[in-house]
Chains A and B, each alone.
Chain A
Amino acid sequence: MKIIVLNCGSSSIKYQLFEMPAKAVLAKGIVDKIGLKGAAIKHKRSDGAEVKLEGEILDHQSGIEFLLGILISEKYGSIKSLDEIDAVGHRVVHAGEKFSGSVYITEEVIAALEDCVDLAPLHNPPNLKGIYAMKDLLPEVPQVGVFDTAFHQTMPPKAYLYGLPYSLYEKYKIRRYGFHGTSHKYVSKRACEALGLDISTQKIITCHLGNGASMAAIDGGKSVDTSMGMTPLEGLIMGTRCGDLDVGALLYIADKEETSIPYTSTLVNKFSGMLGISGISSDMRDIEIAAENGNERAKIAMEMYQYRVRKYIGAYAAAMGGVDMIIFTGGIGENDTVTRTKSLEGLEFFGVKIDVEKSLKSRGKEELISTPDSKVTVIVVPTDEELMIASDTYEIYEQIAQEINN
């Protein structure tokens, strides 16, 4: 069966067409600059055929219409007709407290997601646009929502509540939600699969280190804590986001610099993190080169980054009463050998023993980097959120089919 996976952003749509359960990618691409000048679709088929088509793309619906048109075209297509598409999987950023897993999208689900727009004003509206467009274009095809926040819904209140008046939680649902849930879930499952371990017996710490970065404590397959909070700003130091910060410092800055709320938001989201500290770049590769050339601020930035990861590993090991496995994923987690290796320095005392040589060489592939006698297994697992969305969509589709048959 064929499943199309959509990740709709504010002006772009990433898509992949999967053959399931074979997990084969038949085609993928990106609809870019929706509603803007220079709008185009870059499409790539599994046999390597590639094309970039330009034209006017008014909105998400026309973008999706064009991409479907390409998928069924003789020249670049992978299917003969739209009837071949069995299901659609959508990435949805914020599902608030409404969903703790992926769901079949019904009118009630859509209404619930509309309610969450306030929590993710930049992300949820385009996600919903994608859902509405597919409802219109392929009304008979079931759609499934896979949420970034869902996996972390298993966190207990002690982990997700903030030390604020409880009434604010009741009134506005101010709490930790966490993000990258699809990735944390995928890599923890995948690592256990690869190592032949039963996930329900494992205490796992996952480190999704990309431009945005978060960590999760996964006990018995369930997320019990995560570093991102109500928004993706909390936790680790990121490319341009500050991560954990004393709120008092922010109030002080806003007062001294006379910054408005939007400007303060830009300050902590775009000027901070590795870019803000190093003054060089938000890209770890540039910072590493500068550090090698003796740039002090680049060195400090890297040390801060590694230290923050290490601190969270310690915290999550304590939270779970131990740790069996640490997983690295994301652009930096998979490819930045130095950051990964150094983040684990000094953790021998609780059983982390790294094969340093191997860790410094392993790039972009699934590989164990701990020594055979290490008490804690450390493994790199490349993330694949699209595949996870396709798998969840497939599972839900099968369930529905079974229910109908029964």
Chain B
Amino acid sequence: MSETLADFSLGKRPQTKGMIQKVGVVGCGTVGQEIVRTISEYGIDVVFLDVNEERVQEAFVHIGEQLDEVINHWGLTPGEKRAILSRIKGTTDYADLAECDIVIESISSRKKGTSLEIRKEIFQKIEAVVKPDAIISSNIATLMISDLSNGLKHPERAIGMHFILPINKTNVIEVVKGINSSDEAFSHVAKFAGMINKGIIKLNESPGNIVTRMLVTTINEACEILMEGVASVSDIDLAMRESTGYMFGPFEMADRIGLDKVLKYMENLYQEFGDKKYKPSPIIKRLVRANYLGRITDRGFYNYKSGKPVDQTVTCAVIK
């Protein structure tokens, strides 16, 4: 056998494990892509998995386009882009996740009905291939990590991570400890967050964590104001941006997340808490039925052209 560095250790201290060299991401929709890109930007290898080769290729194209956009604004050099892409591998085979130290499930929450069963199944598929000490995580908004992990052989390795959009601009991750999550899993995830330059907000599990719960109620209230004819979509957004320093107004945020997802978050929270403040606003339901899903369909509360809002789709009744 050839020599390695280990042959030259002074043995002054135990070589503790703890390096995170490879991270897996299951599901590579818009959010999954952002997660993959961010991890790779910080020099960590990423394997992402999606259901078929087409979706894998599509994700690669989109990530490339996002990076080009950053280059156009001088945020990245072409060489750095090549390095970022070289660390990303796409696959459709769970076996390729075997070497990952952390695997994050981030499947699209767009499909109808609850995705709990699908996600649970994914967790089990991940556990079947990864190392015994690998962390299994989910980028969850309104689902509970304890529910997702109860089919695992080792539920203590499961922990929730909620990335806040837009991931490359926000500085924190909500890290959610489930009933069974171990302290070791938590400290591992905290270390990983540090490696991608994010702080953490430690939470005890609760549907909607902090961010989603606050956002959906704000969006609902904004819809109320709109329906009452108090002010227009863009004026409500402007007022909230200026008064609170939010990056986006409630409607802009809803369009960014996707109205179908917002609707789903509301329904899940309403079901969980039974409080009508979470009951989806009829405007959101109508927009989703009309396939006005936000930025992704170029129509939501705003109409979009080349990714920029051009006008508003919803106007409220005003007494004349």
Which residues of A are at the interface with B, using a C-beta cutoff of 8 A? Answer: 35-37, 39-41, 51, 53-58, 61-62, 65-66, 68-70, 73, 82, 136-137, 257-260, 262-264, 266-267, 270-271
Number of A-B contacts (CB under 8 A): 71
A251 to chain B, nearest CB (A): 15
The 16 listed contacts between A and B (C-beta, < 8 Å) are A35-B19, A53-B7, A54-B5, A55-B6, A56-B15, A56-B19, A62-B15, A66-B5, A68-B10, A70-B8, A137-B12, A257-B74, A258-B73, A259-B73, A259-B74, A271-B74
Tell me if B115 is interfacial: C-beta within 8 Å of chain A.
no
B133 to chain A, nearest CB (A): 15
Contact present for A66 and B12 (CB under 8 Å): no
Contact present for A267 and B3 (CB under 8 Å): no
CB contacts (< 8 Å) of B73 on chain A: these are 257-259, 263
CB contacts (< 8 Å) of A68 on chain B: these are 10
> Can you add 13 more A-B contacts, CB < 8 Å, to A66-B9, A257-B73?
A36-B21, A53-B3, A55-B5, A65-B12, A66-B10, A69-B10, A136-B12, A259-B73, A259-B74, A263-B70, A263-B73, A266-B76, A271-B74
CB contacts (< 8 Å) of B18 on chain A: these are 58
- Of A39, A65, A263, the contact of B74 (CB 8 Å cutoff): A263
Could you mark each residue 38-54 of chain B with 1 if its beta carbon is under 8 Å from any beta carbon of chain A, else 0?
Answer: 00000101000000000
Q: Which interface residue of B10, B18, B45 has the most chain A CB atoms within 10 A?
A: B10
Contact present for A271 and B10 (CB under 8 Å): no
Could you tell me the distance between the alpha carbons of A263 and B8 in the complex, rounded to whole angstroms? 42
CB contacts (< 8 Å) of B70 on chain A: these are 263
CB contacts (< 8 Å) of B10 on chain A: these are 65-66, 68-69, 82, 137
Contact present for A56 and B5 (CB under 8 Å): yes
Could you tell me the distance between the alpha carbons of A58 and B5 in the complex, rounded to whole angstroms? 12
CB contacts (< 8 Å) of B75 on chain A: these are 259-260, 262-263, 266
Could you tell me the distance between the alpha carbons of A35 and B192 in the complex, rounded to whole angstroms? 13
Contact present for B5 and A57 (CB under 8 Å): yes
Contact present for B45 and A37 (CB under 8 Å): yes
B78 to chain A, nearest CB (A): 10
Could you tell me the distance between the alpha carbons of A61 and B14 in the complex, rounded to whole angstroms? 12
Q: Which interface residue of B21, B75, B77 has the most chain A CB atoms within 10 A?
A: B75
- Of B3, B4, B16, B43, the contact of A58 (CB 8 Å cutoff): B16
Contact present for B4 and A55 (CB under 8 Å): yes
Could you tell me the distance between the alpha carbons of A53 and B12 in the complex, rounded to whole angstroms? 19
Contact present for A266 and B74 (CB under 8 Å): yes
Could you tell me the distance between the alpha carbons of A61 and B6 in the complex, rounded to whole angstroms? 14
A132 to chain B, nearest CB (A): 13
Could you tell me the distance between the alpha carbons of A258 and B308 in the complex, rounded to whole angstroms? 14
B70 to chain A, nearest CB (A): 8
Main SS of chain B's interface residues? loop
Contact present for A264 and B74 (CB under 8 Å): yes
Chain B residue at minimum C-beta to C-beta distance from A271: B74
Could you tell me the distance between the alpha carbons of A164 and B15 in the complex, rounded to whole angstroms? 50
Could you mark each residue 49-78 of chain B with 1 if its beta carbon is under 8 Å from any beta carbon of chain A, else 0?
Answer: 000000000000000000000100111110
Contact present for B8 and A69 (CB under 8 Å): yes
CB contacts (< 8 Å) of A36 on chain B: these are 21, 43
Contact present for B9 and A69 (CB under 8 Å): yes
B95 to chain A, nearest CB (A): 20
Chain A residue at minimum C-beta to C-beta distance from B72: A257
Chain A residue at minimum C-beta to C-beta distance from B169: A260
Could you tell me the distance between the alpha carbons of A35 and B44 in the complex, rounded to whole angstroms? 10
Contact present for B74 and A37 (CB under 8 Å): no
Contact present for B8 and A58 (CB under 8 Å): no
A46 to chain B, nearest CB (A): 19
Could you tell me the distance between the alpha carbons of A263 and B74 in the complex, rounded to whole angstroms? 6
Could you tell me the distance between the alpha carbons of A368 and B54 in the complex, rounded to whole angstroms? 65
Could you tell me the distance between the alpha carbons of A136 and B15 in the complex, rounded to whole angstroms? 15
CB contacts (< 8 Å) of B21 on chain A: these are 36-37
Could you tell me the distance between the alpha carbons of A58 and B6 in the complex, rounded to whole angstroms? 12
Chain B residue at minimum C-beta to C-beta distance from A136: B12
CB contacts (< 8 Å) of A70 on chain B: these are 8
Contact present for A58 and B74 (CB under 8 Å): no
**Contact A53 B4, CB 8 Å, known A36-B43, A65-B9:** yes
CB contacts (< 8 Å) of A61 on chain B: these are 13
Could you tell me the distance between the alpha carbons of A237 and B167 in the complex, rounded to whole angstroms? 35
CB contacts (< 8 Å) of B76 on chain A: these are 266
Could you tell me the distance between the alpha carbons of A137 and B12 in the complex, rounded to whole angstroms? 8
A392 to chain B, nearest CB (A): 27
Contact present for A66 and B19 (CB under 8 Å): no
CB contacts (< 8 Å) of A73 on chain B: these are 8
Could you tell me the distance between the alpha carbons of A399 and B275 in the complex, rounded to whole angstroms? 76
Chain B residue at minimum C-beta to C-beta distance from A137: B12
A250 to chain B, nearest CB (A): 11
CB contacts (< 8 Å) of B77 on chain A: these are 266, 270-271
Chain B residue at minimum C-beta to C-beta distance from A35: B19
CB contacts (< 8 Å) of B45 on chain A: these are 37
Could you tell me the distance between the alpha carbons of A9 and B4 in the complex, rounded to whole angstroms? 23
B11 to chain A, nearest CB (A): 9
Chain B residue at minimum C-beta to C-beta distance from A75: B3
CB contacts (< 8 Å) of B4 on chain A: these are 53-55
Chain A residue at minimum C-beta to C-beta distance from B20: A35
Could you tell me the distance between the alpha carbons of A392 and B74 in the complex, rounded to whole angstroms? 41
CB contacts (< 8 Å) of B5 on chain A: these are 39-41, 53-57, 66
Q: Which interface residue of A54, A69, A257, A260 has the most chain B CB atoms within 10 A?
A: A69
CB contacts (< 8 Å) of A264 on chain B: these are 74
CB contacts (< 8 Å) of A51 on chain B: these are 3
CB contacts (< 8 Å) of A266 on chain B: these are 74-77
Could you tell me the distance between the alpha carbons of A57 and B8 in the complex, rounded to whole angstroms? 12
A14 to chain B, nearest CB (A): 17
- Of B8, B13, B19, B43, the contact of A53 (CB 8 Å cutoff): B8
Could you tell me the distance between the alpha carbons of A261 and B73 in the complex, rounded to whole angstroms? 11
B139 to chain A, nearest CB (A): 24
Q: Which 7 A-B pairs have the closest CB atoms?
A: A55-B5, A69-B8, A267-B74, A263-B75, A55-B4, A53-B5, A65-B10
Chain B residue at minimum C-beta to C-beta distance from A67: B8
Could you tell me the distance between the alpha carbons of A270 and B7 in the complex, rounded to whole angstroms? 39
CB contacts (< 8 Å) of B16 on chain A: these are 58
Could you tell me the distance between the alpha carbons of A41 and B4 in the complex, rounded to whole angstroms? 10
A137 to chain B, nearest CB (A): 6
Could you tell me the distance between the alpha carbons of A263 and B10 in the complex, rounded to whole angstroms? 43
